[in-house]
Amino acid sequence: MHNKIHCLFFCLLCFIILNQKAIAQTSSIGIFEGQTDIGVVKHKGNLQYYPELQQYHLEGSGANIWATSDAFHFVWKRMKGDFILRTNAAFIGKGVEAHRKIGLMVRSTLDSNAKHINAVVHGDGLTSLQYRKTVGGITEEKKSGITAADVIQLERKGNIYTMSVARKGDMFVTEEVSDLDLGDEVYVGIFICSHNADLTEKATFNNVRIVVPAPATLVLYKQYLGSSIELLDLATQNSTVIYQSPKSLQAPNWMHDGASLIYNSDGSLYKFNLKTRQPTVLNTVPAKNNNNDHVLSFDGKMLAISSNDGGPSIGYTVPVTGGEAKRVSAVGVGASYMHGWSPDGKYIVFCGQRNNEFDVYRIPSGGGKEERLTTSPGLDDGPEYTPDGKYIYFNSVRSGLMQIWRMKADGSEQMQITSDDYNNWFPHVSPDGKWICYITFLKNEVKPGDHPFYKHVFIRVMPVGGGPSKVVAYLYGGQGTINTPSWSPDSKHIAFVSNSQ
């Protein structure tokens, strides 16, 4: 009996150790389910995941991903339906083979000759969309118009697969394959191939995202996708997800102490502690149906908020710690959406709907007579003061597409700042006064006067005086992503919201 007890104890201990090891292995691969060497490889592949950076270091060997069969290392998750895969990927070291490969893959099975499609960057910079239509068939290829892509996206919509790639800072260039049937349930993920059976290569994957987009049946403003609050490091252009919710979270403001964010959800405003990663609701009574037009004063003590409580949106002010909201908007004039304080705290600028026109207005922060600052036909929105109080930036549709504009604080000398082939919204000036960030929609997806939820969007940054813009974040979002000022106090980070089912 004594030996049996020892045997049972030993078996139980082994089970616990093995189970703990399995759990550790599962948690060590981030958002993925497994990792596998596909085909015959000489050197076993491996993944190291760094949760504090949400960064993946991948190493692997394999002769090639080409012809009728493949050999490489694959980190995967099983998925059904439509999805968007995205990452910033880079090789570690110079390497040996010109056609070593890294990228994103969708695969019907884990067999070496499986049907698949991959968005791949080669060691020599060749960037292409490669695919095998039949089991054991010959791999085909569509080469991208750019080389050495840093940002890779692969999207499935039914049997249509779209590769979107860019050098970091640029807009996407796309290639597409239609009528590729890989089955409903597939393996999706990141991969590496050394293109030489005797070698092992290494690569880093940042900003790894698997997005489930809105279905065609989704009713906007009545049904919502889940939300992720992300913090973007502008120096590296890498972002980390700090909070997720199945609800719609919108418009994070960075508080002036750098320790918290304020966002809105389900009509309430929340203070989110960046250390504890926990939200607490702010009291804004009588404003009970707050939207995503809320902004902090320059001294960090007050909030201007917007709430449509059974009627048009009304502007209020409330202490940043919460309390009784004081109405600022005039009575019976139309909707008002608060966007910016003057640095001295005397005025609030907002988008006001008056007589079927949307224009920029300013009003004393304690309430009083409002003053119209823009008069051009069409939508003017998103006004915000510069830290020195000399200018107000806003977005306007007056030139055809939605573009970024600037005017003096009294509304004079209105001039266009951006002039490109996209729709640009919500300019936010960095606290150091040097930069503007704004959100960009594609004109083939969104009308100039609209900024809806759940689209392919880009966060871009440009010098405050004008000049070339660069993309700092590629994401799925839109309404609520950066409607309000979202710079960190040191101007080194941006908070934003992305979305997924």
Residue 118, beta-bridge partner list: 105, 130
What percent of the chain shows pLDDT beyond 90? 93
Question: What is the mean pLDDT of the segment spanning 39-50?
Answer: 98
Q: Are 371 and 354 contacting, i.e. CB atoms less than 8 angstroms apart? A: no
What is the chain's mean pLDDT, rounded?
Answer: 94
Residues 74, 105 contacting (CB under 8 angstroms)? yes
> Total structural domains in the chain?
2
- Categorize the per-residue pLDDT at 436 as very low, low, confident or very high, splitting at 50, 70 and 90: very high
Q: Which of 211, 238, 255 is the last residue of a domain?
A: 211
- Same domain assignment for residues 202 and 253: no
Residue 319 burial (CB count, 10 A): 15
Q: How far apart are the first and last CA of the chain?
A: 55
- Nearest residue to 434 (alpha-carbon basis) of 379, 490, 395, 473: 490
Residues 270 and 383 in one domain: yes
Q: How far is CA 462 from CA 132, 207, 342, 470, in A?
A: 41, 22, 22, 7
* Bridge partner residues of 281 (DSSP): 270
What are the pLDDT digits (tens) for 148-164? 999 999 999 999 999 99
- What is d(CA 462, CA 464) in angstroms, rounded to the nearest whole number? 6
SS3 265: strand
List Cβ neighbours of 329 (8 Å cut-off, separation of 6 or more). Answer: 314, 315, 316, 336, 363, 370
Q: Specify whether the CB–CB gap between 462 and 442 falls below 8 A.
A: no
Distances from the Cα of 35 to the Cα of 75, 86, 112, 323, angstroms = 4, 18, 14, 51
Q: What is the pLDDT of residue 309?
A: 86
Question: Do residues 409 and 330 both lie within one domain?
Answer: yes
pLDDT tier, 28 (very low <50, low <70, confident <90, very high otherwise): confident
Within a domain: residue 220? Answer: no
- pLDDT mean over 245-267: 97
DSSP state of 50: E
Residue 58's domain comprises 32-211
Query: Are 175 and 127 contacting, i.e. CB atoms less than 8 angstroms apart?
Result: no
- Token pair in block for residue 111: 């067999």
Can you give the pLDDT at residue 332?
Answer: 87
Alpha-carbon span 276 to 385, nearest angstrom: 32
CA dist 200 and 95 (Å) reads 9
Task: Choose among 240, 266, 264: nearest CA to 250.
Answer: 264
Quick one: average pLDDT of 250-261? Answer: 97
- What does the buried/exposed string (b/e) look like for 263-283 if buried means 16 or more CB atoms within 10 Å of the residue's CB? bbbeebbbbbebeeeebeebe
Across 246-261, b (16+ Cβ under 10 Å) vs e yields eebbbbbbbbbeeebb
Rounded average pLDDT over 170-186: 98
Q: Under a CB-based contact definition with an 8 Å cutoff, are residues 127 and 165 in contact?
A: yes
Task: Give the CATH number for residue 174.
Answer: 2.60.120.200
In a domain, 19, yes or no: no
Is residue 7 in a domain?
no
Average pLDDT over every residue of 342-361? 97
Same domain? 237 vs 164: no
In this structure, are residues 11 and 54 in contact, taking their beta carbons and an 8 Å threshold?
A: no
- Amino acid sitting at position 365: S
Task: Report pLDDT for 310.
Answer: 85
Do the beta carbons of residue 144 and residue 127 sit within 8 Å? yes
Any domain includes 12:
no
Q: Identify the band that residue 127 occupies on the pLDDT scale cut at 50, 70 and 90.
A: very high
233 and 204 within one domain: no
Residue 15 resides in a domain: no
Number of H helices, E strands in the chain: 1, 38
364 domain residue, yes or no: yes
pLDDT for residue 34 is more than 90: yes
Q: Does residue 9 form part of some domain?
A: no
Residues 6 or more apart in contact with residue 59 via CB below 8 angstroms: 45, 46, 47, 73, 192, 200, 201, 202, 203
6-17: pLDDT as tens digits: 443 344 344 333
- Name the nearest CA neighbour of 173 among 150, 131, 144: 144
Q: Are residues 337 and 480 in the same domain?
A: yes
Rounded to two decimals, what is the model's pTM? 0.93
What average pLDDT does the segment 431-459 reach? 98
In this predicted structure, the answer to whether residue 4 has a pLDDT above a threshold of 80 is no
Are residues 430 and 360 part of one domain? yes
- Same domain? For 173 and 73 the reply is yes
In a domain, 27, yes or no: no
User: How much of the chain exceeds pLDDT 70, in percent?
Assistant: 95
Structural contact between residues 104 and 196, judged by C-beta atoms closer than 8 angstroms:
no
Q: Of 329, 434, 341, nearest to 384 (Cα)?
A: 341
Question: 207 and 232: one domain?
Answer: no
pLDDT beyond 50 at 123 = yes
Q: In the prediction, which pLDDT does 325 show?
A: 98
* pLDDT value of position 24: 30
Please name which of 127, 155, 151 lies closest in space to residue 141, comparing C-alpha atoms: 127
What is the enclosing helix (H) or strand (E) of 38?
A: strand 34-38
Q: How many CB atoms lie within 10 A of CB 6?
A: 10
* 308 and 362 in a common domain: yes
What is the CATH number for 310? 2.120.10.30
Same domain membership, residue 230 and residue 206 = no
Q: Is 178 exposed, middle or buried (0-12, 13-18, 19+ CB in 10 A)?
A: exposed
248 and 195 co-located in one domain: no
Beta strands in 266-356 (DSSP E): 268-273, 278-282, 295-296, 302-307, 314-319, 326-327, 336-341, 347-354
What's the pLDDT score for residue 244? 98
Confidence class for position 26, pLDDT limits 50, 70, 90: very low
- Residue 1, pLDDT above cutoff 70: no
Q: Which of 211, 240, 271 is the last residue of a domain?
A: 211
